[in-house]
Amino acid sequence: MKKYLITLIPVVLLGWQRGPVQERVGVTAPTAASMDEDIKPIPAQYKAEELTTRILSSYHYRKTKLNDSLSVAIFDKYIDAIDHGKLYYLASDLADFEQYKNSFDDYLQKRELDVPFQMYNVFRKRYKERSQYIQTLLKEPKPFDFNQDESMNTDREKAAWAKNTDELNDTWRKYLKSEALDLKLSGKADTAVISTLRDRYKSRDRALGRIRTEQVFQMFMNAYSESLDPHTSYMAPTSADRFKQEMSQSLEGIGALLREEDNYIKIVEVIPGGPAFKGKQLKKEDKIIAVAQGDEGKFVDIVGWFVDDAVKLIKGPKSTVVRLQIISADALPGTPPKEYRLVREKIKLEEQRAKSEIVSINNGNKDYKIGVIDIPLFYRDFEGAQHREKEFSSTTRDVQKLITDLQASNVDGIVIDLRNNGGGSLTEAVSLTGLFINRGPVVQVKESQGEIEVQSDNDPNIAYDGPLAVMVNRFSASASEIFAAAIQDYKRGLIVGEQTYGKGTVQTLIDLNQWVPKEQDQLGQVKLTVAKFYRINGSSTQLKGVTPDLELPTAFKVNEYGEGSQPSALPWDQIASSRYEVTSNINPKILEQLRDKYKHRLKTDEELKTLVKTLNDFKEARENKIVSLQESKRKAERDEAEKKRAAMKQLGEDNVDEDEDEADSKVAEAPKDVKKKKDIYLTETGRMLADLIVISKEPSLAGTKKK
């Protein structure tokens, strides 16, 4: 297992996104094909296809055989990768492709690439037809009638393929009209609306014209790799080089990883320590639609751009200003974009480190001092640790110091906040658990051959043995889930929040050229799933993640944004339990009392009642994918969406701090070591911990037992 730990850190941070980051970097490539030329495979890709197929079929954790059943999955995923919105291919094209559906396994085994490239070239032909229609429509004096009462379904997932060109033209007319209406309602003049759309689609034409053969090959190979599981992927040489650069260099800009999806630039990850993280403005899955330089620069529309081109606009020298127009991940249809101002700077490592604060919680007419330790990710300076540096960066070391400080302030209990923590070092997840337990196993790792390794805390010292709660949400993943699961299995503390992401797999990076050292051509890299994580009770963290003991209200549906949203996700399963000592800090009787008190607050606390109603209304509104294309109705829809969004923000769903001046004045009035923060979820978690403190004083609830 140790051979995987070096690659575990970057993979855990990136591996829970929806597919690989498609960084298309063919801007100046001499091999780029014009829209009138077919794209063809090159000799090196046949070698890469053979080697990647051999590695995936032999060494992937799933051990899935290449057969007709897998071929169908690869075929469907390839079509979806090319035309996810069903906006270019016709039904007749799909009928022509049907003959290949059961042959993709044969193509991979026999080093054939002609058919996948032929299918992509049909897409290029259809794209050119769409482009001609779009530019013709936008040349009309008044292409859109915003007084006409018609609507459009924004969800294309279940849409049927267009039967003919006329049907596809009408779909595109509505899409263009919807985009034009958004621009018009944002204040643009009619001429500016049309000009923006023309530029937007001409930019997309130029971008598609720069597609290279390696990008088509990468798309095809990823249709195979992602059919095995969502965290396995093939990276063509250029993408592999970009990946290595990003993992090694210090990032300068807004501190966010980006990808292309459905014509938009989406945020994959907000990096702790960057401007986006500190400002708490941007979130995973948010869409960036325009970028402006400085406080006065004009916005440049980036809808349809490739991610490498968008990055060039967003990145820049530190201390300079960039403004972004953002459509939030949870925005209702028709919601106008928000504008955010960010000051570029290098990622500050100290911002990634754990921090603590003390919040005052009033519960049962008594004030409790609750220490809160926020851990953005599980970090470890492996090089510093190897050289035995005295103060190397370590999550566990930092948290241990914070615990000592909080205990010196006489806190009544401690909350570990792992919300939005996407993972990191497995070593740190294990050692951090050790701060709260005596000694024992923390996680089990099963390799594809069936070998199981148990990683344990062997230090009998306990840094903190008092009342403990761990906060998680849908975006708590991997190492966060290992820590939370161990605390839950040992009955050491309360787990509070939402069901976690469910990323319970381990990946390693393989450079294909290392397998064929005499090969002159660069063949790329494979990111391969090789193992699974299991809790010490034998249950996998894969797919199901960690279910909280006490679930807070959520804006998400089941399996939305989590591992369960990925069709090819590895299944949940169980192995034998480890032997470990369970404390009696938490038991069914305690949980029953805590749930009763929480249910009572849900019925009587006005803030919680409003939160639940607002979230339910918001989830219901998000189910409606129909938007009006009539100006008056669309404006009303936007106004209503804004009201719901404002209500969410007011209730702290965005976890935004209070107005700075107002917060400062409140802190000044509070005891010196107590900071007040607007966070309804943290407040309720504090109440639950206060309830636990009271209930645990009953003498009958002490002791430990072996399991």
- Amino acid symbol at 667: V
Is 503 noted as a catalytic residue in this protein? yes
Give the C-alpha separation, 14 to 19, whole Å.
Answer: 10
Out of 503, 527, 532, 644, the active site residue is: 503
Cβ atoms within 10 Å, residue 312: 12
Give the C-alpha separation, 448 to 438, whole Å.
Answer: 31
Strand order in the sheet with 468-472: 355-363, 366-374, 413-417, 468-472, 494-497, 550-551
DSSP symbol at 90: B
Element spanning 437, H or E: none
Residue 255 CA: distances (Å) to CA of 286, 585, 622: 14, 40, 29
Distance of CA 341 to the CA centre of its chain: 22
β-strand pairing of 550-551 with 494-497: parallel
288 and 311 Cβ atoms separated by less than 8 Å: no
Out of 178, 227, 393, 478, the active site residue is: 478
Per 3-state DSSP, the chain is made up of helix, strand and coil in percentages (nearest 5) of 45, 20, 40
Please calculate the CA angle 132-134-137 and round it to the nearest 5 degrees: 105
Q: Which candidate, 535, 559, 577, places its Cα nearest to that of 442?
A: 535
Give the C-alpha separation, 324 to 428, whole Å.
Answer: 35
Give the C-alpha separation, 687 to 608, whole Å.
Answer: 12
DSSP symbol at 336: P
Helices vs strands, H then E, count in the chain: 22, 23
Cβ atoms within 10 Å, residue 564: 17
Tell me the backbone φ, ψ of residue 445, rounded to 5 degrees.
-120, 120
Give the C-alpha separation, 185 to 264, whole Å.
Answer: 20
Which tokens in the block code for residue 608?
């919680």
Give the C-alpha separation, 616 to 314, whole Å.
Answer: 35
Is 478 noted as a catalytic residue in this protein? yes
Give the C-alpha separation, 442 to 435, whole Å.
Answer: 12
How long a stretch of residues is the chain? 707
Is 632 noted as a catalytic residue in this protein? no
Q: Which residues have C-beta within 8 Å of that of residue 665, sequence separation ≥ 6?
A: none
Give the C-alpha separation, 457 to 489, whole Å.
Answer: 14
Out of 93, 489, 549, 679, the active site residue is: 489
Torsion (CA) 122, 128, 132, 137 in degrees, nearest 10: 80
Which tokens in the block code for residue 277?
């993280």
Cβ atoms within 10 Å, residue 120: 21
Catalytic residues: 478, 489, 503
